[in-house]
Each structure stands twice: as structure tokens, then as C-alpha cells.
Amino acid sequence: MKPPQTRWLVVAAAFTLMFVGFGAAYSFAAFFRALQEEFAASRGHVSAVFSVAAFLWFALGAPGGMLADRFGTRRVALAGVACLGAGLAAAGLAPSLTLLYVTFSVGLGVGIGLTYVPSVGAVQPWFTHNRAFASGIAVAGIGAGNFLVPPLAAWWIELFGWRGAFFALAALCVVLGGAAAAVVDNRPGGVPRAAAPPPAGAALGSALRSRLFWALYGTLLLPMFGCFVPMVHLAPYATDAGHPEAVGVLLVSLIGLGSLLGRFSIGAFADRVGRIAALAWMFAGLGAMLLAWWVSTSVLALGAMAVAFGVFYGGFVATLPAVVMDLFGGRAVAGIIGWLYTAAGVGTLAGPPLAGVAFDAFGSYDVPILAAAVLSFAGAAGAYALRGARPLPS
């Protein structure tokens, strides 16, 4: 048997993998204006670079999770870190925006797809009590990366230009991510995978054929159309409102700060009040903050909205893996989480580019912000309706 402290080492490794992967992804806000000017591109076109990456990491979460369930998280995560480093380094050499789809979008999409869901899934089997709390600490790496890496990237852009900043991000991912991937593990008993009995819970095929899975899938899909719109468009929105570009990058970082707070605090709250009910509250909170964004222009109001939005976003991400474990068990938890996250991929692929297209057409973000709020409230209603759902039998 492995010592009990190993489970916290796994949590720390998962935190680090998400810190470097999502930190690099959300630093795209710092690159937004430089890329728009370099390639004379529209906002819809530039924002699509991020959306394609996000779609890929969510879409690849399912195969990534299944690979981790079969071969172990460590091997899959090491491959993911290699993709992150290669994609970012190649992005620094891209001669056109189209090539950024091949480098940044594909590199980060595949890299995060092979590290995110596998590392989240690796944490779940190590805990019986306080599982949502442990998940919250692990996924707090996303919030920490969102908070710290965009300003770091902006500083690197000032020092080295946007191309040099991509090289610096690549080095960060390889060094920190490689160390974390080398120690992450999803086998609490220390038994060789071939000899270990399968954990209790539904098989992946049974889960995918169940109404419960598809009800949860639809509930997740609706809020995801707007969830990542602020990650891409809040910075240019602030610039349009007359604030310096540095303020826009700071606002995206404040989403990360709020997300960090949410991932640490909401998990324990969800363990006490009910995880599915907490998920409904998170989606409703996202909708409320989108409405607050719609009426905000001052730095103070936008900053408060960004932090609160991050809290609800971070709380949703911390709660969902524990909800999956509660409803489906641990037998195929990473694979099930991965398939659920394809819903987030669909929403993210559509949301930010459509918001950019709407701005290019109407000169305003009113329509996409309000539409995103409505969909978030609809997702909250769907999650609330699932409160009485019974776990799927093994």
C-alpha cells in the first residue's frame, strides 16, 4: 500500500498540470491585440484560435480519460506536456493566423486534453471523504494559472515580443508540467493495473447509454456557450470602454483569482449542502454575473464582476467531477468526465467566435452577453431538476 500522503502529492501534481496548461491557454487574452494587429484580423477570427483549442481539449478529454483509465495517468500526462511545449514553441514561429490554428490551437488542445481530465480523474479514487474538497484543490490549478500566467505573459510580450513570449510559455510548461506528470498516479492501492480489480461503479458504455448521463450532458452544455466568452472578450471590451490594455488583461486575471477562491471554497460547501444543488447554484451565478457584465463599464464594477464570475466558474469545475463520482462511481470516472466535457467543447467552440462575429456585425457585445446569461439560467434549472437523481447501478 502507498503511504497516505501520496494522495496529496497526486493532488499537487494535478494542480500543477492544470496550472501550466490552462495558464498558457488563458494567457491568450494578453496576446489578443498583438495578434489582431500583426495579422490584421477580425475579433471573430482571432477569438476562434482560442475556441478551437478549447474545443479540442474538451473533445479529447473523453479519449484522454479512457487512455488514463487503461494505461495510467502518468504516461498520458507526459504525452500531453510534450504537446503543450511543442505547440507553444511552434506558435512563436507561426507566420500567419491560420498557422496558429495548427500550432497554438492543436498543441494546447491536445496537450490539455491529455492532462486535464486524466489528472482530475486521478484524484477521485484517492478520496472517500472530502472528495469535492480534494477536487477543488486540484482544479484550483486552473484558477491559479488564470490569475498568474496572463500578467506574466503580458510582461514577457513587453520584453521579448509576442513570439518570444510563446517560447517562454513553452519552457514553463515543459519544466513544471513535466515534473508533475512524472509523479501523478491514479492507482491508490499500488497494485499493478492488470492485477487490480475494477473499482465499483458503472462501466463507460452503461453510463453513455443512460438517461442520467444525457440529462447531465444537456445541463452542462447550455451554460458553456457563454462560460468562456469573458475569457476571450473581456479584455477588448474593457479597451472599448476606454480603459488601458493592461486593465483588460488584469480583468481576465481577476477571473482567475475568483476561480481560485471558488475552487477552494465551493468544494467544501458542496460536500455539505449537496453537490448537484451546488452545481445549480454555480450555473445561476454565472448567469447573474453575465448580466452584471452587460451593465458594467467602470473598472471597479468590471473587476467585481470578474472576481465573482470566477468564483462561480471555479465552483462549477470543482463540483462536477465529484457529482460524476457520486452518480456513476469510480470504475470509469475519467472517461465519463471526459465525455461530459465534450459538451463544454461544443459550447466553447461556438461561444467566443459567435460573440466576436456579433461584435464585428453590431459594434456591441449586448446580444452575446444576454444570450449567454439566458443559457446559464437554463442550465441552472436543469441541474436543479437532477437533485433527486439516483446513482446509476454498477
Beta bridge partners of 201: 329
Q: For 173-193, what is each residue's pLDDT tens digit?
A: 999 999 999 988 777 765 444
Identify the residue with better confidence: 206 or 188: 206
Residue 271 has pLDDT above 60, yes or no: yes
Positive or negative: CA dihedral 109, 112, 115, 117: negative
List CB contacts of 273: < 8 A, sequence separation 6 or more: none
Closest by Cα among 235, 226, 237, 227 to 365:
237
Cell 477580425 belongs to residue: 42
Closest by Cα among 135, 91, 119, 100 to 177:
119
Closest by Cα among 184, 168, 185, 146 to 21:
146
Please provide the average confidence, as pLDDT, over all residues in the chain: 87
Identify the residue with better confidence: 209 or 271: 209
Three-state SS letters, the chain = CCCCCHHHHHHHHHHHHHHHHHHHHHCHHHHHHHHHHHHCCCHHHHHHHHHHHHHHHHHCHHHHHHHHHHHCHHHHHHHHHHHHHHHHHHHCCCCCHHHHHHHHHHHHHHHHHCCHHHHHHHHHHHCCCCHHHHHHHHHHHHHHHHHHHHHHHHHHHHHHHHHHHHHHHHHHHHHHHHHHHCCCCCCCCCCCCCCCCCCCECCHHHHHCCHHHHHHHHHHHHHHHHHCHHHHHHHHHHHHCCCCHHHHHHHHHHHHHHHHHHHHHHHHHHHHHCHHHHHHHHHHHHHHHHHHHHCCCCHHHHHHHHHHHHHHHHHHHHHHHHHHHHHHECCCHHHHHHHHHHHHHHHHHHHHHHHHHHHHHHCCCHHHHHHHHHHHHHHHHHHHHCCCCCCCCC
Residue 300 pLDDT grade (very low, low, confident, very high; cuts 50, 70, 90): very high
Q: What is the pLDDT of residue 191?
A: 46
Q: Domain 6-385, what architecture? A: Up-down Bundle (1.20)
Q: What is the pLDDT of residue 190?
A: 53
Q: What is the pLDDT of residue 198?
A: 60
Q: What is the pLDDT of residue 210?
A: 92
Residue 2 has pLDDT above 60, yes or no: no
Residue 374 has pLDDT above 60, yes or no: yes
**Residue 392 exposure: Cα atoms within 13 Å on the Cβ side:** 27
Beta bridge partners of 329: 201
Q: What is the pLDDT of residue 205?
A: 86
Q: How far is CA 43 from CA 88, 95, 144, 351, 363, in A?
A: 21, 18, 26, 13, 11
**What is the percentage of the chain residues whose pLDDT exceeds 90?**
47
Q: What is the pLDDT of residue 62?
A: 77
Q: According to the per-residue pLDDT averaged within each range, which of 58-67, 68-77, 225-234 is highest?
A: 225-234
Identify the residue with better confidence: 1 or 350: 350
Question: Hey, what amino acid is at 55?
Answer: F
Q: According to the per-residue pLDDT averaged within each range, which of 27-41, 167-181, 317-331 is highest?
A: 167-181
